[in-house]
Amino acid sequence: MKWNQNKVIAHRGAWKKNNLPENSIASLKAAIDLKCYGSEFDVHMTSDGVLVINHDDDYQGLVITTSTFAQLKEKKLSNGEDVPTLEEYLKEGRKQQGTRMILEIKDVKGEGQRMLEITDAVVATVKRLKMQAWMEYISFNYDVLKRVLVLDPLAKVAYLNGEVSAEQLKKDGFVGADYHFSVYKKDPEWFSKAHNLGLTLNGWTVNKEEDMKWLLEQHIDLITTNEPELLFEVLKGK
């Protein structure tokens, strides 16, 4: 594997500049073509147990957790694609070995048991497709990420919510923090604390050039953005 060595994670794929649907196979391919370090995407489960890629809890007016996959397939993305399944998405990602797959397990509030079932199904799919080397897992649900590490102790997991200390993340075996960049602006000591502990720091969702530059000056490891092309330009001008 020869992973791309840059700081760019395309948020929901590289969709914005090319007017592609977010979280589509096309936006994943665009992120791969840009040679991003990673392409982020979001996973939900339908009522009949199919893992699908979509950001919001609903897909074109259908609540994913209470809809069947067949119902979702009745509606197309703007480029004519069906809502992708996790399996389809990973099989596309498996065709290359440069861009990592940054998989967010979407939190369903108040559904602790279901969240663990979804997590088990996600990790089982990754293992069945032999894609562990491509994957990094993120979530706003701390227990979900701890469960990933039970199922795959070598997995890379990073937490999104912003309130857990660097020391606790390290203790629980996380690879790092993946916090909104405002968390680091409020407490710039995050950078030295995390790096002293051997943790990586990612900031989301960073779309303005001045914010990108500030984070790069602090030696952030990764930046998640809707504007990957802009971030590459900023990195070039460093």
pTM: 0.98
Residue 108 pLDDT grade (very low, low, confident, very high; cuts 50, 70, 90): confident
- The residues with which 128 forms a beta bridge, in sequence order, are none
Structure tokens at 228: 């990957």
On whether the CB atoms of residues 152 and 123 are closer than 8 A, the answer is yes
In degrees rounded to 5, what are phi and psi of residue 233?
-65, -45
CA 233 – CA 19 distance, rounded (Å): 19
Whether 1 shows a pLDDT value over 90: the answer reads no
Greater confidence (238 vs 182) lies with 182
What's the burial of 19, exposed, middle or buried (CB within 10 Å: 0-12/13-18/19+)? exposed
Q: What is the predicted pLDDT for the residue at 77?
A: 98
Whether 224 shows a pLDDT value over 90: the answer reads yes
The H or E element spanning position 225 is strand 222-225
**Residue of 109, 128, 126, 108 whose CA lies nearest to 54:** 108
**DSSP code at position 138:** E
**Residue of 146, 210, 204, 148 whose CA lies nearest to 177:** 204
User: Which residue matches tokens 């802009």?
Assistant: 230
